[in-house]
Amino acid sequence: MALTGVQIFKLLPKTNCKKCGFPTCLAFAMKLAQRQASLDACPDVSEEAKATLGEASAPPVRPVTLGTGEKAVKMGEETVLFRHEKKFVNPPAIALEIKDTDSDDVVEAKLQDVIGSEINRVGQLLRIDAVYLSNDSGDAGRFGALAEKVAQKAPETAVIVGTENPDAADAAIKPFSGKNAILHGATEANAERMAEIAKSAKAVLGVKADGLDALSSLTEKVKSLGVEDMVIDPGAKSAREILEYNTFIRRAAIKKNFKPLGYPVINFAQRDDALFESLVAGLGIAKYASIVVVSSAEKWKNLALFTLRQNIYTDPQVPMQVEQKIYKIGDPTPDSPLLITTNFSLTYFIVSGEVENSKVPAHLAIMDCEGLSVLTAWAAGKFTGSKIANFIKESGIENEINHRELIIPGYVAILSGAIEDKLEGWKVTVGPREANALPAFLRSAQAA
Amino acid sequence: MAFVPPKESFAGRVFPVTIGTGVQQTFGGENTLPFHSFEGEVPNRPLIAYEIQDVPPEDWPETVRKLYDGVSDDPVKWAKYCEEELKAKAVALRLVGTHPDSKDLSAEDAAKTVTDVLGAIKVPLIVLGSNHVEKDSEVLVRAAEAAKGHDCIIGKAQEANYKTIAAAAMANGHKLIAMSELDINLSKQLNILLTQMGFDKEKLITDPMCSALGYGLEYTYSVMERIRLAALAQNDAVMQPPMLADVGMYVWKIKETQAPEDVLPEWGSLEERGIAWEAVTASSLLMAGAELLIMRHQKAVEAVELFVDELM
Ligand code: SF4
């Protein structure tokens, strides 16, 4: 249970030496109670205090890692229920289900889907993070063979081994020993043996039960068996159950510091229809899952889910902006067109994407407007004729291009006169209002 | 340790809004977070309206435009098709042809279209302008008059033109969409201005401005969540109107719904990608609190309805 600031204070050295960066031990204790400081900051704290405080000051959702190496997925460590309060920390893993009843061709194709799923979107590499192996056959030998094949063909992919049969678990977890696989999982009936298998393979243990009461007692039991790293599965099937269980788990962990549910959550989103499955998976992504299992990995579906995950897990407090400068798109020459827009990162990504799309090389002037979009920046007086003129003059672009024509966004057509007044010898051309009209605009300008 | 579910209940409630006269539809009315029927009351499903236009949808991408081949040249045929074939629960008529950069149709033209469409369907109608601040205040006033007695939703009123539009909606017995740009304070301020001029807050729909998946969705998502928390937890009456997500218009103009697979093979099938983009944008905004959605593709609408079935 959480300790109060005063309870924590009693365990500190009480010397007020300030080495922790706070003026007094009490001030430090208060911050610890709010989880805004880490106990490590005090060099003089006793071992005894560490042990007592360790439990209380541990993050409300235990950090657990799936897989190893560059593609390892960190899970847990979340601190809020709503993303506007604070950044959601660790984006959920998306795991593709492979069944041991799938034919060799299907297994092969799914592994290729996973390996080839990586996409670069606005500077981040996104991919299907893991495979979820299902022991649908119920046969240990067959499940072990599937695991061998996966380990061999996709050695870098993180693996979740899904079976309630300890013999099958033992056979299938072996190839992933020491690779931070997840063994999913432990139930009330098999917890002892599963805990042993997970420990010997250094695997994370997935713990599943029907409902949250049974789940909390089971995680306590598993913990007493010596397993610390768990992911939890409340047995949610419908979208409604996913929302209900995930919400209660997150609230219990964060608001009540309820340790038995302070673990990353795994959700199963498989549906017969791929489109519908993307909506259920999307619910898991938006509402607190750490792993979402899907049954297929179509490229269009991956792109939608990766993008949603990226959107939900961006930092709401950092204004999204890019650096002010003249970007080169394609391989522009001194005769290539010059466009200008604001430094709101979304504006930049959309405009640069469309310019790229047009296949017309261009100079793209991105002006610092504190991360505001064109219309908002204009309304706020940050994207004005004189400011644009100054920026163009100071950018040095005049030495790099032969022409003196500046293309401005259609929404601020009204600025053309003001810019021409301030930028002697320049001609302002009004571009389209929406970026998606840029390719046609640039191509016809080039043809002219 | 026995587990007690940490249920939360709230003092506030979202206003339920009923529209239409023939077939009526009601949305909103919940006193809990979106779909939290495990700890509060969620009396109504969200309402999804099919979007149609007064002029043919030339700038809609092929994936969605082709669904309406043969009907989209005439808003009356198009509206009937939505009601009869697609089983639309509501229709949203966007008078985009009145925009000066489009066909610059007059307010009279718009009023006639509204009258004709209303004569052809039984489900409720949402009448939207072209989002041109000055033109909308002419067009929507005439449109509201033409729709008198049909209990429609008129929109969108923005800070720059709300007075005339709200007055027309009020005088002709309609609900009103109040739109501001991705800022909870602006939303609140506009709703206050509207109530100060005598508009009933229980007849408002807040549009905090939509964004598509990948193009600012997280802004709309968080503004909606914040508005909803203000309505429920702070019991702030001005923030209690239901919210609109005008999904189709924002989704079907971005690259992901237009770039062909042969240009971007790593993005997969264009058709399915476009549909998924609209459906995922819509379902995510439902989770953030939207109760009224305006959408374009039948398959996306159907998937979202199925998703709501699983959530209710
Ligand atoms: S470093 Fe430790 S002993 Fe020194 S003031 Fe901080 S808490 Fe107290």
Look up tokens 């923030």; give the residue. Answer: B239
The CA distance from B78 to B69, in Å, is 9
* Ligand 1 and A322: CB distance under 6 A: no
* Ligand 1 and A9: CB distance under 6 A: no
Q: In this structure, are A51 and A121 located in the same domain?
A: no
The CA distance from B125 to B92, in Å, is 6
Give the mutation candidate from B247, B307, B309, B312 for the A interface (greatest A CB count, under 10 A): B307
pLDDT at A26: 92
Q: In this structure, are A190 and A236 located in the same domain?
A: yes
Distance A77 CA to ligand 1 centre (A): 25
The CA distance from A252 to B247, in Å, is 34
In B109-197, beta strands by DSSP E: 125-128, 153-157, 175-179
Which of these three, A57, A80, A95, is where a domain ends? A57
Question: What residue type is assigned to position A347 of the chain?
Answer: T
Contact by Cβ (8 Å): B19, B175: yes
The CA distance from A444 to A441, in Å, is 5
Between the CA atoms of B166, B167, B168 and B170, what dihedral angle is there, to the nearest 10 degrees? Answer: 80
The answer to whether residue A142 sits within a structural domain is yes
β-pairing verdict for B17-19 and B25-27: antiparallel
The answer to whether residue A320 sits within a structural domain is no
Taking residue B309's Cβ as centre, other Cβ atoms within 10 Å add up to 12
Q: In this structure, are A23 and A138 located in the same domain?
A: no
- Whether the CB of A145 is below 8 Å from some CB of chain B: the reply is no
Q: Which of residues 195-214 of B touch A (CB under 8 A)?
A: 213-214
Q: In this structure, are A76 and A203 located in the same domain?
A: yes
The answer to whether residue A318 sits within a structural domain is no
Nearest to B218 among A239, A312, A353 (CB): A312
Phi then psi dihedrals of residue A430, to 5 deg: -85, 120
The answer to whether residue A319 sits within a structural domain is no
The answer to whether residue A317 sits within a structural domain is no
The answer to whether residue A419 sits within a structural domain is yes
User: Which of A6, A15, A45 is the best mutation target for the ligand 1 pocket, counting ligand atoms within 8 Å of the beta carbon and taking the most?
Assistant: A15
Contact by Cβ (8 Å): A35, A255: no
Domain count within chain A: 3
Q: Return the residue whose CA atom lies nearest to atom 7 of ligand 1.
A: A25
pTM assigned to the model: 0.87
CATH number of A167's domain: 3.20.20.20
Which residues, 6 or more positions from A406, have their beta carbon under 8 angstroms from its beta carbon?
Answer: A338, A339, A340, A365, A388, A392, A419, A423, A426, A427, A428, A429
Contact by Cβ (8 Å): A434, A347: no
User: Which of A16, A46, A57 is the best mutation target for the ligand 1 pocket, counting ligand atoms within 8 Å of the beta carbon and taking the most?
Assistant: A16
Q: In this structure, are A237 and A353 located in the same domain?
A: no
Locate the chain A residue with the closest alpha carbon to B226.
A84
Between the CA atoms of A72, A78, A82 and A83, what dihedral angle is there, to the nearest 10 degrees? Answer: -50
Query: What residues of chain A lie within 8 A of the CB of B132, using their CB?
Result: none
Tally the C-alpha atoms within 13 A of residue A408's C-alpha that lie toward its C-beta.
26
Which of these three, A259, A282, A312, is where a domain ends? A312
Q: In this structure, are A89 and A218 located in the same domain?
A: yes
Q: In this structure, are A348 and A246 located in the same domain?
A: no
Q: In this structure, are A273 and A389 located in the same domain?
A: no
- Domain hosting A334: range is 325-447
Locate the chain B residue with the closest alpha carbon to A310.
B214
Taking residue B200's Cβ as centre, other Cβ atoms within 10 Å add up to 12
pLDDT at A56: 65
* DSSP letter (8 states) at residue B16: P
Locate the chain A residue with the closest alpha carbon to B222.
A84
The answer to whether residue A209 sits within a structural domain is yes
Domains of chain B: 17-311 (3.20.20.20)
Q: Return the residue whose CA atom lies nearest to atom 6 of ligand 1.
A: A20
Q: In this structure, are A145 and A169 located in the same domain?
A: yes
Shortest distance between the Cα of A241 and any Cα of chain B, in A, equals 8
Q: In this structure, are A247 and A348 located in the same domain?
A: no
Q: Which two tokens stand for residue B194?
A: 């509207």
Chain centre to alpha carbon of residue A53: 30
pLDDT tens, per residue, chain B with 312 residues: 578 999 999 999 999 999 999 899 999 999 999 999 999 999 999 999 999 999 999 989 999 999 999 999 999 999 999 999 999 999 999 999 999 888 999 999 999 999 999 999 999 999 999 998 899 999 999 999 999 999 999 999 999 999 999 999 999 999 999 999 888 999 999 999 999 999 999 999 999 999 999 988 999 999 999 999 999 999 999 999 999 999 999 999 888 998 899 988 999 999 999 999 999 999 999 999 999 999 999 999 999 999 999 999
Question: What residue type is assigned to position B258 of the chain?
Answer: Q
Contact by Cβ (8 Å): B134, B149: no
pLDDT tens, per residue, chain A with 448 residues: 467 888 889 889 999 999 988 999 999 988 888 777 888 889 998 888 887 777 666 788 999 999 999 889 999 999 999 999 999 999 999 999 999 999 999 999 999 999 999 998 877 889 999 999 999 999 999 999 999 999 999 999 999 999 999 999 999 999 999 999 999 999 999 999 999 999 999 999 999 999 999 999 999 999 999 999 999 999 999 999 999 999 999 999 999 989 999 999 999 999 999 999 999 999 999 999 999 999 999 999 999 999 999 999 998 877 677 889 999 988 899 999 999 999 987 788 789 888 887 889 999 999 999 888 898 888 888 999 999 999 999 999 999 999 999 999 999 999 999 999 999 999 999 999 888 789 889 998 888 7
* Per-residue buried b or exposed e for A229-258, using 16+ beta carbons within 10 Å of the residue's own CB: bbbbbbbbeebbbbbbbbbbbbbbbbeebb
Q: In this structure, are A52 and A78 located in the same domain?
A: no
Give the mutation candidate from B35, B257, B280, B309 for the A interface (greatest A CB count, under 10 A): B280
* Ligand 1 and A5: CB distance under 6 A: no
Shortest distance between the Cα of A242 and any Cα of chain B, in A, equals 9
CA distances from B285 to A339, B201, B277, B280 (A): 34, 22, 12, 8
* Ligand 1 and A42: CB distance under 6 A: yes
ipTM exceeds 0.85: yes
Which of these three, A57, A81, A98, is where a domain ends? A57
In A225-361, which residue ranges form alpha helices assigned H by DSSP?
A: 239-255, 274-286, 299-312, 345-358
Q: In this structure, are A401 and A433 located in the same domain?
A: yes
CATH number of A44's domain: 1.10.15.40
